[in-house]
Amino acid sequence: ISLMHFDTTYFWRVRARHDADESMWSETWSYMTTDQVVHESPDDGATGQMLDVTIEWDDMRGSYEYIYELCDDPSFNTPCIFFTDENSVTAMGLLFGTTYYWRVKAAHTEDTTSWSEMWSFETMNSVNLVSPGNGSYVDDYFPTLSWQEATGIAGFQLQYDTDQNFTEPTEEMIDGDKYSHKILFSLQLDQTYFWRVRAYENGDTTNWSPTWSFTIGVEPQ
Read off the pLDDT of each residue in 55-80 and give the average, rounded to a whole number.
Answer: 92
Read off the pLDDT of each residue in 82-95 and give the average, rounded to a whole number.
Answer: 94
Q: Where are the beta strands (DSSP E) in the chain?
A: 9-12, 29-32, 39-41, 46-49, 54-57, 65-71, 81-84, 88-90, 99-107, 119-123, 129-131, 136-138, 144-147, 155-161, 170-175, 180-182, 192-201, 204-205, 212-216
Whether 78 shows a pLDDT value over 90: the answer reads no
**Residues in the chain, overall count:** 221
Q: Find, among 18, 41, 14, 13, the residue nearest to 28 by Cα.
A: 13
The proportion of the chain whose per-residue pLDDT surpasses 90, expressed as a percent, equals 85
Read off the pLDDT of each residue in 189-208 and give the average, rounded to a whole number.
Answer: 97
pTM listed for this prediction: 0.86
Q: What distance in Å separates the CA atoms of residue 54 and residue 31, rounded to the nearest whole number?
A: 33
Whether 220 shows a pLDDT value over 90: the answer reads no
Tens-digit pLDDT profile for residues 111-136 = 899 999 999 999 999 999 999 999 99
